[in-house]
Structure 1
Amino acid sequence: MPPYPTGSWMPVALSADLPAGTVMPAQSPAGPIALWRSRSGRVAAFADRCPHRGMRLSHGFVRGETLSCIYHGWSYVQAGNCLRIPAHPALTPPDTIRVATQPVEDGGGIIWIPVGEPAAGPPRFDGVIPLRSMVVEADIAALESAAGTKAGEGLLDYTHDGRTVRLLLASEGKARTLMHVLVDEDSNPSERIAASRAAEGLRRAAEHVAASGTAR
C-alpha cells in the first residue's frame, strides 16, 4: 500500500457497516487489520493475525468485550492482551501474548485510522452523511480520469446528470481504492438512489480506464 502523509487520517470503513458485536476486515497503511466493535459499542483495530497460529482475526467472533480467534478461541481485549486460552482455562495468559493494535476514531458515521500522530482529530463533513462504501479495482488516478476532475484531500466531487456526488477516497493498494459515498443529510430516498447509481457508474468507468491503461 502506498504511504499516506504522516499526520493524516485514513477512512477505513463506515460505522453502519460495523454493528455492535461484529468484526470485519479492513486495510490500513500498516497492512490488513481486523476492525471490531464490542457489545458495548467500542471500536478497536487489531493487526489481522492471531499471535498463536497466524489465523486472520477478522474471521473471528466477538464475545462481550473481547475478540476471539476462530481457530483455537484465544480471546483478546481491546488493549490487545490475551484474556483467555480455552485449552488452558486455569491459565492466566502472560502479558507478552498480545495483538498489535492501532488507534481508531469513530465519528460522523466514519471509522478512521490515524497515520502517524495527527495534530487534530479526523475531518468532519458538515451537512453530509455517509451512504455506502464500495471497492474500486483501480487507483485514484483512474477515478480522477473517469470523473474528469481531481480529488482534493481525499475528496472527489463527481458531477453526473447535473448532480454532484461527493466521494471520500482511501487508497488500498497500487490498483485498489475504497470509495465512500456521501450524500446531503436532508436528501430524499430517490436522491440517495441516484447518488449510489452515479458512484457505481464511476466505479465501472474507472475500472475500464485502469484496464485500458488510459489514466492521465
Structure 2
Amino acid sequence: MQSDTTGIWTPVALSADLPSGTVMPARTSAGSIALWRSDSGRPAASADRCPHRGMRLSHGFVRGEALSCIYHGWSYAQAGNCLRIPAHPGLTPPETIRVATQQIEEADGVIWVAVGEPTDQPPRFDGFVPLRSLTAQAGIAAIEAAAGAKKNANGFLRQSLHSEEIGFLLVEQEPDQTLVHVFIGDNATPLNRILASRAAEALRRKAEGVQTNGISA
C-alpha cells in the first residue's frame, strides 16, 4: 500500500460492498470519507462533511451522478463541485462551494483511495479474489501474532487452510482496530470459500483475545 514518500493507497472497501447508487463511510489515514458509487457505476471518494452545515455526506444519498446531503439536499459531483442547492433552484452554485475529493482506483474487486499523490498503481494480488471484509477489535500486531505470520509491505498476510491459501489484507483503523479484507484463491470451490470465511472469523476471535489478554486466545 505504501507507494513512496509522496503518497499511499488504502484499500477502503471491496467492490461488492458498494453497489451502484449507494454511499458508505470509510476511513483512510487522512480521516473519514464518504465512499460512493454513481448510478452509472463510477466510484468516488469525497470528504465526509457537507460544506453547508457539516452533516456527514456518508449519511446522504446518491441520485444519478451526484451525492446529496441528507440535511438540506445540497448535491455534489464526483469532482467535488456543488451542482444544486434545493432552496435556490435557479442558482448556479459558485465554484467555491465544493467538497474535497481523493483519487480512487478500482481493480480486482478492491476499491483503493489515495492519500497524497502515489506515483504508481495500487498493488495486485495475482491468484486471489476478494471474499469478504470484517473488522477486528485488534491491532495488526495482534492479528499477526494470532496468525503466526507477518504481513508483507503491501499489508497482505498469507495463511494456509488445508490445500488452499487465504490472504488477509490488513488496514489499520485505530491502534486497536483493523479492517480485514479476506481473499481466497481464484479457483476455490464453494466449500473452500465457506471454510475460508469461517477461518477468518476464527482468526478475528483469536486476535481479539490476543489484544485483550496479551496471550494466544
- Could you tell me how far apart the structure 2 residues matched to 1:41 and 1:192 are? 27
1:76 is aligned to 2:76: yes
Distance 1:37 1:8, change over 3 A: same
Residue by residue over 1:5-57, the C-alpha shift from the partner in whole angstroms, topping out at 9 and shown as x without a partner, is 74332111001111111101100111000000001111110111111111110
1:28 is aligned to 2:17: no
Equivalent residue letter for 1:204: R
CA contact (8 A) 1:171 1:178 kept: yes
CA contact (8 A) 2:3 2:119 kept: no
Equivalent residue letter for 1:108: D
Question: What corresponds to 1:144 in structure 2?
Answer: 144
Question: What corresponds to 1:184 in structure 2?
Answer: 185
C-alpha RMSD of the superposition: 1.7
CA contact (8 A) 1:156 1:169 kept: yes
2:170 match: secondary structure: strand
Question: What corresponds to 2:92 in structure 1?
Answer: 92
- Could you tell me how far apart the structure 1 residues matched to 2:42 and 2:202 are? 35
- Could you tell me how far apart the structure 2 residues matched to 1:27 and 1:191 are? 30
Question: What corresponds to 1:50 in structure 2?
Answer: 50
Distance 1:178 1:106, change over 3 A: same
For residue 163 of structure 1, report the CA deviation from its aligned partner.
4.5
Equivalent residue letter for 2:28: S
Question: What corresponds to 1:209 in structure 2?
Answer: 210
Name whichever of 169-178 and 3-12 sits farther off.
3-12
- Could you tell me how far apart the structure 2 residues matched to 1:4 and 1:208 are? 32
- Could you tell me how far apart the structure 2 residues matched to 1:99 and 1:91 are? 18
The percent identity for this pair of structures is: 63
Give 4+ residue runs of structure 1 displaced > 4 Å after superposition.
Answer: 160-163
Structure 1: gaps of 5 or more residues: none
For residue 173 of structure 1, report the CA deviation from its aligned partner.
1.5
CA contact (8 A) 2:105 2:113 kept: yes
1:106 is aligned to 2:106: yes
CA contact (8 A) 1:5 1:115 kept: no
- Could you tell me how far apart the structure 1 residues matched to 2:50 and 2:199 are? 39
CA contact (8 A) 1:156 1:167 kept: yes
Name whichever of 7-16 and 129-138 sits farther off.
7-16
- Could you tell me how far apart the structure 2 residues matched to 1:182 and 1:214 are? 26
CA contact (8 A) 1:59 1:70 kept: yes
- Give TM-score, length-normalised by structure 1: 0.93
Distance 1:86 1:27, change over 3 A: same
2:88 match: secondary structure: coil
1:45 match: secondary structure: strand
Equivalent residue letter for 1:112: W
